[in-house]
Amino acid sequence: MIGIIGGSGLYSGLEELGGEERIVRTRFGDMKVLLGENFVFLSRHGNPPVPPHMVKYHANIEVFKNLKIEKVVAISSVGSLVKEVKPGEILVPDDLLDFTGRVWTYHNDKPVHVNLYEPFCPSLREEIKNIGGMKIGGIYATTKGPQFETRAEANMLRMLGAKVVGMTVAPEARLAREMELCYQPICPVVNYVDGNTTHENTIEMVKKMEEKIADIVMRLIQSNGV
Ligand code: HPA
């Protein structure tokens, strides 16, 4: 059994998976998921979609905990900060920078400090690596968005060694670790971070990559059969 968090636009590519719509209760609200024999699919942004800073991250992650699903892959589109990672490719990051400037935790009434030194799940990353066709490793930087980065911000992130930048992974990784989930993002690279990036051309690239992503997700589901 595997959990999948889908980014905006991915849902259509996965329709052929089947599964039934279910409502899952969480302390943060009722969430709609697609429940299959071997998987649970959750749309990160919901329908109609909310922007990255309004995503119900606490509810999203608690869904998997409540369903007792330990392994979660998250499809998260990114912009590339480096020449060698090209739009159209898929990067599976192995480290994280958080510039959201917000506190992400389930623990507001007592001090709880989980270890985040290895922010993603190495064993799940290994499984993904075995599927092939993806670049493995690299730092994912999370910005608060919703605007894309300034030139100076992009240069700062490059100087810190980040390969890609997106707006959603840090909250998920932090909350998933608190819930003791094995969480690993898979990142479709939809643009270079430069002056040509627009919302429209990133969406266009997400659409172009949908089939490729659906294929990877399908393989992961198969290899995690009941
Ligand atoms: N910056 C931040 N988030 C993104 C980008 C980007 O260039 N592309 C897709 N998500």
Q: Percent of the chain at pLDDT above 90? A: 91
- From the CB of residue 159, how many other CB atoms can be counted at a distance below 10 Å? 9
Closest CA to 142 of 99, 172, 175: 99
Which CATH number belongs to the domain containing residue 132 in this structure? 3.40.50.1580
pLDDT of residue 9: 62
Name the residue range of residue 184's domain: 2-220
* Average pLDDT of the residues in 47-67: 96
Please check the confidence at residue 15 and state whether its pLDDT lies above 70. Answer: no
For 33, the token pair is: 């998921």
CB 138, CB 85: distance < 8 Å:
yes
79 assigned to some structural domain:
yes
Q: Residue 12: exposed, middle, or buried by beta-carbon count in 10 A (0-12, 13-18, 19+)?
A: exposed
Cα of 165 vs centre of ligand 1, distance in Å, is 6
Confidence of residue 18 (pLDDT cuts 50, 70, 90): confident
Nearest CA to ligand 1 atom 10: 78
Q: Largest Cα–Cα distance of the chain, in whole Å?
A: 48
Please indicate, yes or no, if residue 226 is contained in any of the structural domains.
no
What CA–CA distance (Å, rounded) separates 163 from 167? 14
Q: Ligand 1 atom 7: the closest Cα is on which residue?
A: 79
What Rg do the C-alpha atoms of the chain give, in angstroms?
A: 16
| Count of domains observed in the chain | 1
Reference 169, options 87, 84, 72, 65; nearest CA is 72
225 falls in which pLDDT band (50, 70, 90)?
confident
Distance between CA atoms of residues 80 and 202, nearest Å:
12
Are 28 and 63 contacting, i.e. CB atoms less than 8 angstroms apart? Answer: no
Does 73 reside within a domain? yes
Q: What is the mean pLDDT of residues 7-28?
A: 80
Q: What is the pTM of this model?
A: 0.96
Asked if 60 contacts 183 with a C-beta cutoff of 8 angstroms, the reply is no
Average pLDDT over residues 169-195: 98
In a domain, 48, yes or no: yes
Pocket test for ligand 1, best of 10, 53, 76, 78 (most atoms within 8 A of CB): 78
Does a structural domain hold residue 197? yes
- d(CA 172, CA 62) in angstroms, rounded, equals 10
Query: Closest residue (by CA) to atom 3 of ligand 1?
Result: 166
Best substitution site from 8, 142, 149 to test ligand 1's pocket, by max atoms within 8 Å of Cβ? 149
Q: Which residues line ligand 1 (CB under 6 A)?
A: 77-79, 143, 148-149, 165-167, 190-191, 193, 197, 202
pLDDT tens column, 140-152? 999 999 999 999 9
C-alpha dihedral, 211 to 144 to 68 to 122, nearest 10°: 70
Report how far residue 46's alpha carbon sits from residue 119's, in angstroms, rounded to the nearest whole number: 25
- Please name the helix (run of DSSP H) or strand (run of DSSP E) that holds residue 80, with its range, or none: strand 78-80
For a ligand 1 pocket test, name from 76, 193, 198, 206 the mutation site with the most ligand atoms within 8 angstroms of its C-beta: 193
Distance in Å, CA 123 to ligand 1 centroid: 26
Nearest atom in ligand 1 to the alpha carbon of residue 197 is 7
Task: Tell me if 176 is assigned to some domain.
Answer: yes
The alpha carbon of 63 and the centre of ligand 1 are apart by a number of angstroms equal to 26
In a domain, 209, yes or no: yes
Structure tokens at 59: 């509810």
